[in-house]
Structure 1
Amino acid sequence: MVKQSNAFLLEDDMEWEDLGAGVQRQIMGYNGDLMMVKVKFETGAIGVQHQHIHTQVTHVHSGVFEATIDGQAQILKVGDGFFAEPMIWHGVVCLEAGILIDGFSPVREDFLKK
C-alpha cells in the first residue's frame, strides 16, 4: 500500500530529484489515488514521448513548452496545460526554461523511492 504525504507541503523541505539532461522532479502531495509533481526543465530539455496507465493533467507554471499529445503538437505558455488519457503517447520539449505541474491518477508509484 502506498503511503501518503504530509498535510502541509513546504517547498524548502522537499528534495528535487535530478533526472538528468536538464530535468528535475519534486514530488508534492500524494496518496494512492492522486499525485502532484513539479518538473523543472532547462531550455532545450526534453520530456521524452512516453505512455502510462495514469490519467495526467499538466499545468504550465513557468516557461514555454512544445507539448505533443497523440501526435498533435501545441506550443504552451504560462497558464496553459494539457490532458493525457491513460496509454496516450505524450511528451514535451522545453523552449524556455520553466516548470510544469503534473497531476496523476492514480499515484505514480514508480516515482516514489523504495
Structure 2
Amino acid sequence: MLKVIAADDAKMTAPEPGLRRQVMASTDPMMLVRHRMEAGWVGAAHSHPHEQLIYVLSGEIALVVDGSTYTLRAGDSVMVPGDVVHQASAAVESEVLDVFTPAREEYR
C-alpha cells in the first residue's frame, strides 16, 4: 500500500528564520524534503554526509560550493556530494525539493 504525502503548508516546520520545511516521502535510504525560503533568507554554511539533490520549483537560489557560487532558477537541479561545505540563499521567495541519501534522521 502506498502512502501519499500531500504538500501542506500547515505541516511545514520552521527550523530557522526565513526557512520552512516539510518532509515528504521517505525511506531509510532516501528522503524527499520540500523547502520554502523567504526573500532575503541566507542559510548557514554547512556539510553533512548525505548526498543532496536539489531541484528548484520556483524562484531563484544562490548555492555556494567550495567557494564557487551557482545561480539556480526554477527548473534547474544540481547534486551536492556528501561532506562538501555548501551554503544556500534566496534573494526572492523560492521553493525547492531536496532529495537526501541516506535519509536525514534529524529531519524526521
**TM-score under structure 2 length normalisation:** 0.92
Q: Determine the structure 2 residue equivalent to 1:85.
A: 81
Cα RMSD between the aligned structures? 1.5
What does the per-residue CA deviation read over 1:35-77, in whole Å, with 9 as the maximum and x for residues that have no partner?
A: 0000100001012111001010100111111111122101111
Contact 1:59 1:100 in 2 (8 A): yes
* The one of 27, 34, 52 aligned to 2:30: 34
Question: Residue 59 of structure 2: SS of its match in structure 1?
Answer: strand
TM norm structure 1:
0.87
Quick one: distance in 1 between partners of 2:40 and 2:78? 19
Whether the aligned pair in 2 keeps the contact of 1:55 and 1:85 (CA below 8 Å) is: yes
5+ residue gaps in structure 2? none
- The one-letter amino acid paired with 1:107 is A
**Aligned with 1:99: secondary structure?**
strand
Structure 1 unaligned residues grouped into runs of 5+: 1-5
Aligned match of 2:12:
16
Per the alignment, residue 105 of structure 1 pairs with 101
Which segments of structure 1 move beyond 4 Å, counting only runs of 4 or more? none
Partner of 2:45: helix, strand, or coil? strand
SS at match of 2:8: helix
Percent of aligned positions that are identical: 27
In structure 1, the residue matched to 2:63 is 67
Q: Count residues in correspondence.
A: 107
Structure 2 counterpart SS, 1:110: helix
CA offset digits 1:52-111 (Å, max 9, x no partner): 010101001111111111221011110112211110011111011011110000000011
